[in-house]
Amino acid sequence: MKKIIGLVIAVITTFFIVGCGAKKMKPYEDTEVKYLDGGWVSVWADEFNGDKLDQTKWSYETGGDGWGNNELQYYTYDNTKVSDGTLKIFGRKEQKNNNQYTSSRIVTSNKFNFKYGRVVASAKLPVGKGTWPAIWMMPQESTYGHWPKSGEIDIMEYVGYEGNKVHASIHTEVYNHKNNTHQTGSLKIDNLTDDFHKYELIWEPGFISISVDDTNIKTFRYNPILDQAYDSNQAFPFDQDFFLILNLAIGGDWGGLQGVDDKIFPAIFEVDYIRVYQKDYNYLDKSNPETPYNVQESRLKKNSIIWVAPYDDIGVEYYNVYVDGEFYKKANLPQITLKKLDKGKKYNIKIEAVDFTGKVSRMSEGFEHTFK
């Protein structure tokens, strides 16, 4: 009887540990909205409730060299103000060195960066021709090379001469505005300069979706079939840490396309809050990923292997690639270019998927590839 009771207690204890072992992720305290539907938990925020910019969260970037877009402003430390629960970035008509305008640009670089998540910001945009405000992101490290090779994510861009339209874009080595190939979306919204509107990014492996006021502007997806002429990072390098940027540019290749109206100054880009969330993977994830399938050789890139991303209840984080049964390399997206193998030799390639909690799928069927 004691053995039976002990066995029952052991079973109940095991069930309790398994069922309750995953504790809920603790939210970032300094935010007014700690959770969003879908298991999103706050990991960082600035509510701009103080009386000055919090420089434990932000750094200023300064200068007036055009910033790669022939912009006209000089960025200073002096063109921001935090009051009445909002951040104001001012664009002013004033001389600074060789520049006729001043403004500010603030970044979270080296203070807060993240990979994958959800950004929610509320902002009211400046009035007038020549203004070019943005909420955007750049990589913390240039892992794949200098711009645009390591990527850029534009959550919100606005040029004042359009008046009622916002834009969302990504820039990569393959898709960027310098080559006139960048991927972008636009949406007309009333009262952009009179009211606060919500700008939102959802970023997951191979997936970026950007919206305003809960209406989608554009969704960007990595597709190994459509992009099989390239390494995955050339088309979609968004598998590294990025940081946040808030700025108000004046003029430039896009913002100044119809000139600058000097009667609008001072122009004000006002931000009520900006918040970052990530999924509580350990609490939400219940199952292993399904098996990667349709492993094949790219028709357009030598020694490139592609496959179809399998389903997982929360999402696949990366893939383990095996060559002749030995671990070869990790791939963050469903593509890999094989290197440093013996030319003319045939190799057996298998793939397994790994989710955000470390759960592993079954190995894919083997694919025979002759290294070229």
Q: CA–CA separation, 127 vs 25, rounded Å?
A: 41
Looking at residue 119, its pLDDT comes to 98
The span from the CA of 337 to the CA of 303, in Å, is 6
Active site residue 157: yes
Burial grade of 355 (CB within 10 A; 0-12, 13-18, 19 or more): buried
Residue 14: its pLDDT value, please? Answer: 36
Confidence (pLDDT) at 179? 87
Segments of the chain scoring below 50 in pLDDT: 1-20
Q: Considering the chain, what percentage of its residues have pLDDT values greater than 70?
A: 94
Residue 229 DSSP one-character state: T
pTM for this model (two decimals): 0.92
Max Cα distance, the chain (Å) = 90
In the numeric block, the tokens 């028709």 are attached to 299
SS3 per-residue string spanning 166-180: EEEEEECCCCCHHHC
**183 - beta bridge partners?**
170
Active site residue 152: yes
Name the catalytic one among 157, 173, 317, 352.
Answer: 157
Q: Which two tokens stand for residue 9?
A: 């207690």
Listing DSSP states for 54-104 in one string gives -TTT-EE--B-S-TTTTB-EEE-SSSEEEETTEEEEEEEEEEETTEEEEE-
Give the pLDDT of residue 293: 97
CA–CA separation, 351 and 349 (whole Å): 7
Torsion on CA atoms 130, 136, 140, 143, rounded to nearest 10:
-90
pLDDT of residue 21: 58
| Catalytic-labelled residue, pool 71, 94, 152, 270 | 152
CA triple 275-175-279, angle to 5 deg = 30
DSSP-assigned letter for residue 328 = E
pLDDT digits (tens, 9 = 90+) for 57-86: 999 999 999 999 999 999 999 999 999 999
pLDDT tens track for 318-363: 999 999 999 999 999 999 999 999 999 999 999 999 999 999 999 9
Phi-psi region of 269 (alpha: psi -120 to 50; beta: other; left: phi over 0): beta
Q: What does the alpha-carbon distance between residue 103 and residue 122 come to, in Å, rounded to a whole number?
A: 20
pLDDT at 23: 85
C-alpha count within 13 angstroms, C-beta hemisphere, residue 79: 30
Cβ pair 39, 284 in contact under 8 A:
yes
